[in-house]
Amino acid sequence: MNILCNEQVSKRFGSHQVLDSVTFSIPEGSVFGFLGQNGAGKTTMMKLILGLLKPDKGTIRVCDETVTYGQTKTNRHIGYLPDVPEYYGYMKPKEYLKMCGEITGMSREEIIKRSQELLGLVGLEQADKKIGGFSRGMKQRLGIAQALLNEPKLLICDEPTSALDPIGRKEILDILGQIKGKTTVLFSTHILSDVERICDRIAVLHDGKLALCGTLAEMKENHKKDSIQIEFNTIEEVEKFMNSKFMMEYLDSSQKKENSIVLHGKDINTMERAAICTLESEMLLPKKLEVLEPTLESLFMEVTR
């Protein structure tokens, strides 16, 4: 079952087309990485899902119910963590969660039980000071606890790690990893390493359109190039290698990087044989020879250039 389905969603502000016929779905229990450069339209997409903006065209469905602008019926299925969550600084974490639970109609017993569980999950069970004295990372963790309070089917996180230090980022990613499989997560970010660590599926938004969408493995396979990287001890060895008769057809497509060279070709087996013959004929011993797989960074750069 798909928790979220977006069909041909478009949104324009004045002359600027922010989203252009965007279609994707998120399977239940998955962590979906929504990637794009700053200003790509990720936050706009999330506001549309929450019914806070009206799409110019297209439909959005959450748990098989159509999202309607200005109505919050579908938001009972959603927990939301904005990029900069706001709090009443004079409150303590338990007081804040109690207020949020009461607003959504939870019983006193439910609020106590869920607050204890979630503050334990986010590592704030011992935090008894006012939220105004929290660090940015602590506020983000409390935001996740608040977003999960009502046991939502879909958790939307808008750039949850963008302003955190490495320790804070790790804490947030660890929490999202713990709820993986229990709650479906839409995770917006421009930090590629975070996506590779926890996401099952990925979409890349560029110029208002989806440039890539699928699992990381699928995208790597679909954009695979036959490439070999060979690292030498000196630049002279690189020059000697490339001047060999076996390497002449690869000169135009090769890339030099300090003491290494990357070869691109249509047939990896033929290219490997040519490289090994060259090493043998020129009596060269490389430090490293490896077949390169596409990385998320290389895919992202390829589609957003």
- Looking at 169, 196, 221, the residue that finishes a domain is 221
- Residue 233's nearest CA partner among 296, 287, 188, 186 is 287
Considering the domain architecture, whether residues 188 and 68 belong to the same structural domain is answered as yes
Q: Are residues 141 and 172 in the same domain?
A: yes
Dist. CA 191–CA 35, nearest whole Å: 8
* Domain co-membership, 115 together with 261: no
- CATH number (domain holding residue 234): 3.30.70
Structural domain including 123 reads 2-221
Domain stops at, among 169, 199, 221: 221
Give me the number of domains the chain comprises.
Answer: 2
According to the model, what pLDDT value does residue 85 have? 86
CA distance 288 to 146: 50
CATH of the domain at 49: 3.40.50.300
C-alpha 143/C-alpha 137 separation (Å) is: 10
Pair 173, 48 in one domain: yes
Q: Which of 143, 50, 153 is nearest to 100 (CA)?
A: 143
Same structural domain, 122 and 269: no
Whether residue 157 is found in the same domain as residue 231? no
Q: Are residues 217 and 247 in the same domain?
A: no
Q: Quick one: 139 and 247 in the same domain?
A: no
Tens digits of pLDDT across the chain (305 residues) = 899 999 999 999 999 999 999 999 999 999 999 998 888 889 999 999 999 999 999 999 999 999 999 887 899 999 999 888 889 999 999 999 999 999 888 999 999 999 999 999 999 888 889 999 998 889 999 999 999 999 999 999 998 888 788 888 888 899 888 888 889 999 998 888 888 888 989 999 998 899 889 888 888 777 777 788 899 999 899 889 888 888 888 877 788 888 888 888 778 888 888 889 999 999 999 999 988 777 788 788 877 77
DSSP readout, 214-255?
Answer: EEHHHHHHHT--EEEEEE-SSHHHHHHHHTSGGGGGGTTT-E
Residues 98 and 165 in one domain: yes
Q: Are 262 and 225 in contact (CB under 8 A)?
A: no
Domain boundary at 194, 221, 248, which? 221
The pTM (predicted TM-score) of the whole model is 0.81
Q: Do 247 and 279 lie in a common domain? A: yes
pLDDT at residue number 149:
92
Q: For residue 55, how far is the Cα from the chain centroid?
A: 23
Pairwise CA distance, residues 186 & 183, whole Å = 10
Q: Which residues make Cβ contacts (< 8 Å) with residue 220, sequence separation at least 6? A: 293, 294, 299
pLDDT of 163: 78
Question: Are 202 and 239 within one domain?
Answer: no
Do both 104 and 120 map to the same domain? yes
Question: Do 40 and 34 touch, CB atoms closer than 8 A?
Answer: no
